[in-house]
Chain A
């Protein structure tokens, strides 16, 4: 882990229909961590990612990616949205969806060529979906769809990866496959930020964690701050998790 700050969020406030969803968030994410964002439903976890990525407009505050605005550093960032956010009956194949990851670097009008196709095939192989490259996306299982989304982000060849609940509705095999890829990314020095639901697996999967409930409760290394105190502050009830060593 280097000392660079990958993502810096400053006084970020986001309101949805003029109801505050995130309040005055200050957050610094160091480069090279594998971080979970945890918090109860409606705590603003997805909102935080979406406003960092410029999908939602905050009413106050600013976001910096490696010291510059997101618009300038877009090429360093990849995003895996929630699986349920798209229509899986869309007429397209697995390979096609993964190719979309190259669109950002291509810019307007230019079409993907052989080079982009090769990159997409490599990403498909990495997530173990090469055999399904010509499959219509609706004929894939939930876990396979999630892997396709991951491959699409891998193609972006970014430095920071944002993932919105990548383990939701996937089978155990896929969950292990995904977390292994995320750990590989961290090993390669990438920063990975994951909205996560399953508190039990936090110590096993992640090395960094942010507790969020409208306000930021705590952020830091899992071994230091993943404790009953912060969990209770975040979830509002007395919380006990047995942390597996």
Chain B
């Protein structure tokens, strides 16, 4: 299938449309909530929760024997929440640190989940096929009811975000201060955490346990680079997440053998890489350019200051001097001299240079500025 055919199919083919819609909505909701996880410095909690959800799925299946994805998700939600609160318990009641607690719950719950899944697979008569899709996710198994479920959760999440926007923002920024204003910080905290767990659980079927954390973090990390407003960050993260979902689905649908989850993660990773490099205010490229430019300006100023001190001793500031005397000064290069000429600070005449009126004025300003800075 090539891209043109894919685009045609998205509008005509029911399955493909469902999958595309599902991954887009999922990307949007995880992007939004991921912003909060990133800003709370709980980035790795997502990874731990998604792993901790696995035994819940298996137990829900063992109890009900049903493959109804909503029941399995409920199991995942419960077990994800247990994992989350156990992590907090370990951190607050023992001297184990947060990274150890995260790693413990993550690996122990996952291992237990694996035990259950393999146990289920060995059972006769069980119609267990497809449980392992939760490991790596299988977007292809999304059906309309799943998409509806995602839409409802996203809608609820949007509503809560809009209602409690101010409370979320202030809690994330300054929790102690929030308490003094009379807000119940525990309630706000549990609200955010529950929605994060919910979003993760929703994503398990599509991207799977292992890659879920990237869905949460990547859109948010990319969005952070483009804006200094929380609202804009959440909005951009939702867009980046949705686009990763759509592009990821498109690429994996047009190629053989490519499961959707990893492709979505790679697309999200490309968003991150692009943002890290090309963001105008924070990006590495512009930071480097600014750094080089500053260094060049500094060199220019040094040369100009040196010339200024020579010119100062003469009555006529534009009295020509030999270029050779600049050689005593290390900051001087042919390039800087050319630059000074271009800026019309300096005139060249054969082997001689002379300051222009403008050059002298600029140099005087620089000199005064430097002196006042030293004070």
Give the total number of A-B pairs whose CB atoms are below 8 A apart: 74
Neighbouring B residues of A81 by C-beta, 8 Å = 174, 176-177
Interface size class of B (residues with CB under 8 A): 20 to 34
Q: Are A55 and B179 in contact (CB under 8 A)?
A: yes
| Complex-state Cα separation, A111 to B233, whole angstroms | 19
Asked if A108 is at the interface of the complex by the 8 Å CB criterion, the answer is: yes
Neighbouring B residues of A111 by C-beta, 8 Å = 165-166
Asked if A179 is at the interface of the complex by the 8 Å CB criterion, the answer is: no
| Complex-state Cα separation, A55 to B173, whole angstroms | 16
Q: Are A86 and B166 in contact (CB under 8 A)?
A: no
Q: Are A93 and B229 in contact (CB under 8 A)?
A: yes
Neighbouring A residues of B166 by C-beta, 8 Å = 103, 106, 109-112
Neighbouring B residues of A53 by C-beta, 8 Å = 179-180
CB distance from B234 to the nearest CB of A (A): 9
A100 nearest in chain B by CB position: B170
Q: Are A103 and B170 in contact (CB under 8 A)?
A: yes
Asked if B39 is at the interface of the complex by the 8 Å CB criterion, the answer is: yes
| Complex-state Cα separation, A108 to B166, whole angstroms | 8
B164 nearest in chain A by CB position: A109
Q: Are B182 and A91 in contact (CB under 8 A)?
A: no
Binds B, one of A34-42, A71-79, A192-200, A211-219: A71-79
Q: Are A86 and B182 in contact (CB under 8 A)?
A: no
Asked if B172 is at the interface of the complex by the 8 Å CB criterion, the answer is: yes
Interface size class of A (residues with CB under 8 A): 20 to 34
Map CB proximity to A onto B218-240 as digits: 1 under 8 Å, 0 otherwise. Answer: 00000010011110110000000
Q: Are A54 and B180 in contact (CB under 8 A)?
A: yes
Map CB proximity to A onto B162-186 as digits: 1 under 8 Å, 0 otherwise. Answer: 0111110110111011111111000
Known: A91-B227, A91-B229, A91-B230. A104 touches B174 (CB 8 A): no
Q: Are A90 and B172 in contact (CB under 8 A)?
A: yes
| Complex-state Cα separation, A77 to B224, whole angstroms | 34
Known: A90-B172, A91-B233, A136-B228. A79 touches B177 (CB 8 A): yes
Known: A91-B228, A91-B229, A92-B229. A55 touches B176 (CB 8 A): yes
- Which residue of B164, B179, B180, B224 is within 8 Å of A91 (Cβ)? B224
Map CB proximity to A onto B19-49 as digits: 1 under 8 Å, 0 otherwise. Answer: 0000000000000000000010100000000
CB distance from B11 to the nearest CB of A (A): 37
Neighbouring B residues of A86 by C-beta, 8 Å = 173-174
| Complex-state Cα separation, A90 to B163, whole angstroms | 21
Binding site secondary structure of chain B: helix
Neighbouring A residues of B164 by C-beta, 8 Å = 108-109
Q: Are A97 and B173 in contact (CB under 8 A)?
A: yes
A153 nearest in chain B by CB position: B177
- Which residue of A54, A77, A93, A100 is within 8 Å of B174 (Cβ)? A100
A residues 161-180 near B (Cβ < 8 Å) are: none
A residues 81-99 near B (Cβ < 8 Å) are: 81, 85-87, 90-93, 96-97
Neighbouring A residues of B182 by C-beta, 8 Å = 71, 74, 104
Interface centre among B182, B183, B227, by most chain A C-beta atoms within 10 angstroms, is B182
| Complex-state Cα separation, A50 to B227, whole angstroms | 34
Neighbouring B residues of A71 by C-beta, 8 Å = 182
CB distance from B319 to the nearest CB of A (A): 42
CB distance from B108 to the nearest CB of A (A): 27
Neighbouring B residues of A110 by C-beta, 8 Å = 166
16 contacts between A and B (CB under 8 A): A53-B180, A54-B180, A74-B180, A79-B177, A87-B39, A91-B232, A97-B173, A100-B170, A100-B173, A100-B174, A103-B166, A103-B170, A104-B181, A108-B167, A109-B163, A136-B228
Given contact pairs A87-B173, A136-B228, a sample of 5 additional A-B residue pairs in the complex whose CB atoms are under 8 Å apart: A91-B228, A103-B166, A104-B180, A108-B164, A109-B166
